[in-house]
Every structure is written in C-alpha cells, then in structure tokens.
Chains A and B, each alone.
Chain A
C-alpha cells in the first residue's frame, strides 16, 4: 500500500469539486393545451431539507387547481427540476425551464444566493419567478414577486416586540455568515441605534454554515446577559446549525425567561427535528404559524397532511407564502385571460387573496405583499403559541428606511415610476427599469 501525501489529497479534492454536479430530473411533455408551471427547488444537497417541502406544496396546489378544472380551461402541468443546492445550477435550470420547457411561471429558490443567481436569467428571458422565503430586502426585480417577508415584515416588528413588550435593552445579533443575516443585522443595528440602544449594548456574532460547536458563544451570551439589563438574542442562524445551537442553550440552562431568543429562520419544520421541551418560551417571528386559528388554515393543514400521507407533518411560513403566491398567480391568470408573463404581471397589482391566518394578502406595486406579522413562543409539542400580532397588515418594503444607502429608494413597477429602485430625492431610477424603456 502507498502512503498518500497531503498534496495528492488537495489535487484530488479539486477534481471532485469540478466533477461533482448532480443532474436534475425534468418531466418534458410539450402540449399546447396546458399551462406549464416550473418548480425550481433543490431536491438533493444541503437545502433539500427545506426546499423539498415547497416542491410538494406547489405540486399539491397544482393538483387542487386541476381538480377545479385548471385555469382558462387548460390543465396545469408541473415541470420539476432539481438544482441540487448548487447556486450556478439554479441559473442553468432556470434557463432550461424558460427556453426549453417554455414554462409560464416559476415557483422556486430558498437561499438569497440562489435567487441572485436566477435573477439575471429571468430578467433576460422575461420569466416570472415567485420567491416564497423571508429575505433581506434591498432588491426589487420586474420579473420576481416576493411573497416572503421583507425585513420590515419580520425583523423590525420582532425587535419592537422585544423592546416594548419584554423591556429588552441589550441585544445579541447572532447569525450565520452570509448575505441574509449580514444585511438584516446591519438594518437591525441601525434601527436599534435609532431607538436609543447604545453601541455597547449590541453584540454581533457570526458563525459558519452548519456550525455545530456553540459552547463558547452560548457562554458568551450568558455573560453578556448578566449586566443588569434585560437581554435578548435575535437569531438569523440558518438551517442545520439551529439544532446544536438550541441543544446547547438547553444544556447550559439559558431559560427563555432570562434571555429569550427570537429566531427568523426557525419554524415548525425545523423544530420537528428535536425535542422542544427545554426550549419552551423561546420566540420566532413569522407571518404564519401552523397554530393560527382560521378556517382556511384548518383546510390547508388537512389538505397538506392528506396529500403527503402523514398526519404529523407540519406546515410553515414559506409554505403559506407559496400558497399565497400560487393563489395570486392563478387569480391573475384568470383576470388577465392569459398566462402571458406581461399580462399576468399587470394583473397581479392590487390582487387580494385570503391568507391562512384569517386576513387577506395584497400584492403591492413594489412586488411585495402586505401581510400580518406574528410572534410565537415555542411549545412542548413543537408548535408555536401566538403571543403577539400586528394590528393590521404590514406592507413589505423592498428598500429599508434604516440604511442610509437605501433610505430614499422606493420600488414601484407601475406608471409613472416604473422602477425597482427609484430615488425619491434625486428623482432618478438606478439600475434595471421596465424592459423596453
């Protein structure tokens, strides 16, 4: 046997990096009497854990719509591709969906980096993407409808709740090291300072993706929290890193009464992976919780559990965002009398569909929704108890008012502005405008 040097190891790992690309599966079946719906969610790789659920949600919605007779007398035909949690592959698969499959609409993406990768392709080929996940804002594309929360629909109200209802004066902003937490924390830091929170009362901490050793950070949080002021953790920790984080919180005995943790990326599905008994009382901010009491929600949960064939399967916020996005698109197609992208887009503005928490969601001219914001406390059964909600629906703001570089920007894709980042002071439109202008 030969001993292997480190050099060979490195060389070999480069080869692997280049060759490791999984191919996606697509159902190709061109027929003129169908409306094609592209589904662009990772079914393998790291993000499969979250995105598979959304693929199933879209397929369920399509099935239900077809049972009702489809749209405009045509059946809906799903085209499922697997971008395999590989960001460049997202762009390739989008091109495939739009050019080869000629789909009329795409539901897809989860991470911001995958959306950024898809963006130039949908803009070039004039596609239509519905993006269902909460994100950092600072973007508004003519070709994307954002049905997840913008920062002012999740982060800002959550911090308001901490300050006003729990009397929190000291904040730990803990996040995974990538664009969504970094931007959100930047916005929050500037918002907190505008509320009179001192620099030394804010601790910012970033950890790598999939971080699993939280001992030091949790211990630091405990120390930070013993300065005589009520302290809370605002967590933008993403994905798999949450389980070891919450386990460590429980092990080191950080009780929600002493230092509550409010999370923006932890929902029912993430909690289904572990025992929540030691976490009771920690918080999450979303626009939807499975525990919301409304008839539409009961029906949705029942339909979902029947579709998936599992009575314990949970629902979550990105599923509601997918539900709202799909319902809006279906209504817009009916209204426009065509599945043509430009006609559907014009029909989208001002469209209202019931959301699952008992109100209505409205699509605004900036391609963002008006939705209620809810705060929930984790319960022993892995569900959330809703402890606070905004009085009215909050309108999604594409460009945050709390960062100097975007404070003057607005997005309005209708005449006369017709711009995704219109500067209200200089009266100019920066970057991409409506195609053809």
Chain B
C-alpha cells in the first residue's frame, strides 16, 4: 500500500495531468512502469491480465487514471506492427502516450486490449481510489459509491484523508459508510459495533450485503451482542425497504398503465367511438415504430431530435394508412362486426408480412437518446427510470390533446354529432363519410404515436403490434366503451393492479388474475367502468 505522501504526490500528478499531456515532449515509447505494463497486457491472457491490472492500479504515474478509464471503457487498443498503445475514440485514434493522432490504413491494423468483468471490477476500484480526490463532487460521489464495493482494498490512511478533506455532506455520508464496512472487519468488538451503527439505516445494496455477511459470521462465531446489533440494523433497513418497494411498485404500475393507455387511446376512438372492431390496431402501432426507425436512419446524428420529428411523422403515416383502410374496406362493412373483425384481422396479417418483406423479419434497432436513459434517484433503493417517467408524461399529454380535439374543435363536434345521431348529423350538412374516415385516421394516427413511445421500450419488429392488441381491447372494454376518461382510469388501474400482484403472484399468474378480474367485472357491469348514459348510449 502507498503512503499518504505518495498518494498526495500521485493526486497532485493527476490534477496536473492535462498540462503534462498537453506538452508534446513525451516520447512514443516512454520508459515508465505504466508503459511496461501496457506492453505486458498486449500479450497476456485473462488470467495474467488479472494480476497485471491489480499492479496497474497501484502505479504512480500521472497517466494511470486515464489509462484505467480508457481501458474500462473498452477503448484501449494497440497497433499491431509497432505495439504503440492507442485510444480508439469516437472521432479519432490517438496515441495514448503522446496524444498525437494515429493514421491507419485499415481498421484491422489495431487490436483491442480486451477486458472482462473481473478486470472491470479491479479497474473501477482503482479509478474510485484515485477519483475520490477529484475536484468534481459528482465524480467524488461516483467514486465513493464504487468504493462501497471494494472497501477492503482501500487503505485506512487514504480513507481518513478523504473523510477529512471532504466538504460535500452527501459524499461524506457515503464515505462514512465505506468506513463502516471496513470497521466490520476490525479486530475489536467496540469498533465493529461502531461500524454497524454507521451502516444502520443505509439503503445501499452493498451496505446491506456487507451487513448480511457480517450477520452470518457473527452467528457462526456466536458473538451475541454484535449479532443483536446487526439484526436490529438489518431490520431497520428492511422496514425502510418495504416502504420503498410499495412506492416503487406503484410507480411501476403507473408506468405500465401509461403504456396500456398509449396503446389503447387510439382504439378508444376507432372501437370506442366508432364501434369498429379493428384487429389491425396493433399494426398501426407497429407502423409508428417503424416510422421512428426510418426517421432515425434519415437523421443518424440527431437521435434526440429524430424522436421529436418521428411523432408527427408516425401520426401521418399511421393516420393515412388508417384512412386508406377505412375508405377501402371498413366503410363497406359498417354494421357487420364479424366481417369487420375478419377483414381487419386479414389486413393486420398483410401489414405484418409487408413489413417483413420490406424491412426483413429481424428486429430493427431504434436508438434511445441519452436524456431518456438512466434513473432519477430518490434514495439508493428507490430509483425512477427516466424513460418510464417520460412515457407517463407523454401518454397524459396525448390524452389531453385528444380530449381537447374532441371537445373544442369543429371536427370534434362533428365527430360527436355523427356518433350520437348519424341521420340528424347528415341532415345538418355534415359529410358523415368523411367524418368517419377522419375519425378512423385520427385513431390510427394516435396508435402511430404510441408506436414512437413503445419503440423506446420494446423491440421494433413485425410482431410487435400483436403484443398490444389484446391489452388495448381489455383497457377500452374495462374503462367503458366510448369514454376517454374511462380509458385513462382503466389503463392506470389495470397497470397498478397488475404490478401490485406481480411481486407475490409472479408475472404469469398476475396476468391471469387480471384477466379473470375483468371477466367478472364485465359480468357485473357490461358497459365498463364509465358507461355512457342517456340517449347516446341507447342509440348505439
């Protein structure tokens, strides 16, 4: 282990690193320990690499931190003919030690210095030990959290130094946990008990893991005082976790509800308002997802922007296909639900096979923009994933927008008029045929928008629509046919019920239970949660 002074020198060197790298004085093959190890890494198998990497983390060199970071990211390569270590960055390939750009004849001239999981664990520990002194509080936080995993490899002086210099209370808290984990291994009971009290109530998985291990060893050795203390600490954590998991399941339920809502809103129009059993509804979602894919192919450098562009594009594509289906097939079949069902089922097969022929049967890759990845951390045990959060918001926006169209626009008024009383609307001069077509187009277009959102969650392939058709009908029937508010409440309650059942019943049984519940519910209330009342409902 390194002394404090050595550490400080190393730290200073790390801070100074950009200045050093900026200077063009360093030779291509410097005579340093780091360079020597890099050369050894080239030829080593994974077993030897393990030992080499452990040595690497202790090398005092201004470049060590950078070397480990590049290596853990999988960007560390070497040129085959002269064994020069290079960084294979996004934009350019540069020599690691000189920083100069390296021009290659072919991509095959360089070879990766590969890493596996065990090496990554060693490297992350090494990086954390250096970065805990970084200037950036976020990096220090990251380092401290990583130190929880490799607490045993940290020498006590470094930890004390980090604790003394740390001004940020959040980071300090985590560092105290690191200290607590270390104290669990201490030689005397008082220190171990202090460790337990430091860890009590923390929600970090690694802390719980460390306490669980301690519990096992205390039980085995019969150390009763400590066992009692650690049991209390674990109990406290467990009760906090239970609270968190209820909140988490609610969130999961809302997120699932949002997906159901998105998939079902379009159907609430075509099936709910128009009464058309549209089995091709899922394929409208699929078309929306493929539109997202095509838009991304057209603007590969703007992934985030492409999603925004894809929303109206998907609406148009699915909407137009919907209008074509209505004008071509469905309008000849009004009042004949069985034939409509068969015809639209046929259309769904045609659309699936068409996509299979045009785009191949393989799934297409739709990239997720950075701002949709990651989690919003409330505490270490409760993290809300951003993509679900956006989808919840997005589904509510779509619903609000649709309600606005129905309630506040001329088209919405005409649409409602046609639904309520077709002959009367027609005699008032409304072209009911066109209203039908546009209504169907609107429903399909919204399904297309749902496809944009779903492309961020699941695979984009020819079969993706089928996964949602049953759920969509379920939501619309449950919520009450012809009622947007019912669709919202139906989707959200089905989502939440499903997710609350899942932890103790399992995914398969939870789904069955929900279906049984709906069957029973429909027996009691055939018109769903929010049935239309009055004349409109009777007219049908």
Binding site for B on A (CB under 8 A): 1-6, 8-9, 11-13, 15-16, 19-20, 22, 43-46, 48-49, 52, 165-166, 177, 205-208, 210-213, 215-217, 219-220, 222-223, 225-229, 240, 243-244, 247-248, 250-253, 256-258, 260, 269, 272-275, 278, 280-281, 377, 379-380, 385, 387
B248, B365, B473, B526 pick with most chain A CB within 10 angstroms: B365
Q: Pick from A9, A48, A206, A244: contact of B277, CB below 8 A.
A: A9
Cα A212 to Cα B337 with chains together (Å): 30
Q: List 12 A-B contacts (CB under 8 A).
A: A3-B275, A6-B526, A43-B361, A46-B463, A49-B461, A208-B507, A222-B205, A223-B205, A227-B212, A240-B467, A251-B386, A269-B362
**Are the CB atoms of B117 and A281 closer together than 8 Å?**
yes
- Whether B488 is near chain A, meaning CB under 8 Å from some CB there, is no
Are A387 and B46 neighbours in the complex by a CB distance under 8 Å?
A: yes
Q: A52-B361, A243-B363 are in contact. Are A1 and B540 (CB under 8 A)?
A: yes
Which stretch (B22-30, B284-292, B367-375, B409-417) binds chain A? B367-375
Q: How far is the CA of A20 from the CA of B118 in the complex (A)?
A: 51
Are B463 and A228 interface neighbours, CB within 8 A? no
Chain B residue nearest in CB terms to A212: B458
Contact B335 A2 (CB under 8 A): yes
Shortest C-beta distance, B150 to chain A (Å), equals 10
Q: Give CA–CA (A56, B503) in the complex, Å.
A: 43
**Docked CA distance A22–B348 (Å):** 13
Judge whether B208 and A216 touch: CB under 8 Å: no
Q: CA–CA, A45 to B388, complex, Å?
A: 29
Q: Which residue of A lies closest to B503 (CB)?
A: A216
Q: Are A280 and B473 in contact, with the CB atoms below 8 A?
A: no
Contacts of B269 in A (CB 8 A): none
Whether A379 contacts B74 in the complex (CB less than 8 A), given A22-B349, A243-B459, comes out as yes
Judged by a CB distance under 8 angstroms, whether B353 is at the interface is yes
Contact of A15 among B120, B259, B342, B364 (CB under 8 A): B342
Question: Is A256 a contact partner of B367 (Cβ separation < 8 A)?
Answer: no
* Nearest 10 CB-CB pairings of A with B: A273-B363, A226-B205, A228-B209, A228-B212, A243-B459, A228-B213, A3-B540, A215-B252, A48-B361, A251-B385
Q: Are A281 and B120 in contact (CB under 8 A)?
A: yes
Q: B477 on the interface (CB 8 Å rule)?
A: yes
Could you tell me the distance in whole angstroms from the C-beta of A261 to the nearest C-beta in chain B? 11
Chain A residue contacts of B540, Cβ below 8 A: 1-3
What are the interface flags for B443-462 relative to A under an 8 Å C-beta threshold, 1 for contact and 0 otherwise? 00000000000000111111
Q: Which of B353, B367, B502 contacts A44 (CB 8 A)?
A: B353
Hey, which bits of chain B sit against chain A, CB under 8 A? 46, 74, 114, 116-118, 120-121, 124, 149, 205-206, 208-213, 216, 241, 245, 248-249, 252, 255-256, 259, 271, 274-275, 277, 279, 334-335, 337-338, 341-342, 345, 349, 353, 356, 360-368, 373-375, 383, 385-388, 419, 422, 457-464, 466-467, 473, 477, 481, 499, 502-503, 506-508, 511, 522, 526, 540
Chain A nearest CB from B339 CB (Å) reads 9
Enumerate chain B residues within 8 angstroms of A12, measured Cβ to Cβ: 277, 337-338, 341-342
- The answer for the CA separation of A273 and B366 in the assembled complex, in Å, is 8
Distance (whole angstroms) from the CB of B139 to the closest CB of chain A:
17
Closest A residue to B210 by beta carbon equals A228
Contacts of B211 in A (CB 8 A): 228
A278 to B540, CA, bound (A): 51
Residues of A within 8 A of B473 (CB): 9
Could you tell me the distance between the alpha carbons of A232 and B524 in the complex, rounded to whole angstroms? 46
CB distance from B457 to the nearest CB of A (A): 6
| Given A1-B422, A49-B361, CB of A16 within 8 Å of CB of B209 | no
> Which residues of B have CB within 8 Å of A166?
117-118
Q: How far is the CA of A243 from the CA of B455 in the complex (A)?
A: 11
Q: How far is the CB of B243 from chain A (nearest CB, A)?
A: 14
Residue from A6, A49, A251, A260 within 8 A of B387 (CB atoms): A251
Min CB distance B122 to A, Å, is 10
CB distance from B467 to the nearest CB of A (A): 5
CA–CA, A20 and B256, complex, Å: 30
B255 and A210 form a contact (CB under 8 A): no
- Report how far A228 CA is from B121 CA in the complex, Å: 16
Q: Are B362's CB and A49's CB within 8 A?
A: yes
Judging by beta carbons under 8 Å apart, are B503 and A220 in contact? yes
Q: A257-B120, A273-B363 are in contact. Are A4 and B345 (CB under 8 A)?
A: no
Nearest-neighbour CB distance to chain B for A26, whole angstroms, equals 18
Q: How far is the CB of A219 from chain B (nearest CB, A)?
A: 6
- Provide the bound-state CA to CA distance between A210 and B461, in Å: 12
In the complex, are the beta carbons of B342 and A385 less than 8 A apart?
no
| B205 contacts across to A, CB distance below 8 A | 222-223, 225-226
**Are the C-beta atoms of A16 and B507 separated by less than 8 Å?**
no
Question: Given the known A-B contacts A1-B540, A256-B117, are A244 and B252 also in contact in the complex, defined by CB atoms under 8 Å?
Answer: no
Asked if residues A206 and B74 are in contact (CB atoms below 8 Å), the reply is no
Closest chain B residue to A204, Cβ basis: B506
A1, A11, A217: the one contacting B274 at CB < 8 Å is A1
Q: Are B385 and A252 in contact (CB under 8 A)?
A: yes
Q: Using CB atoms, name the residue of chain A closest to B367.
A: A275
Q: Tell me the bound Cα distance from A221 to B174 in angstroms.
A: 23
Chain A residues near B245 (CB, 8 Å)? 219, 223
Bound Cα distance from A14 to B300, whole angstroms: 44
Q: In whole Å, how far is A3's beta carbon from the nearest beta carbon of chain B?
A: 4
Complexed CA–CA distance, A120 and B248 (Å): 49
Query: Does B502 lie within 8 Å of A216, measured CB to CB?
Result: yes
- A208, B508: Cβ atoms closer than 8 Å: yes
Bound CA–CA A49/B462 (angstroms): 9
Q: Given contacts A4-B271, A213-B259, could you give 18 more A-B pairs where the C-beta distance is less than 8 Å?
A: A4-B277, A16-B279, A49-B461, A177-B508, A206-B508, A207-B508, A215-B256, A215-B388, A219-B248, A223-B205, A228-B212, A229-B209, A256-B120, A257-B117, A260-B117, A273-B364, A273-B365, A385-B116
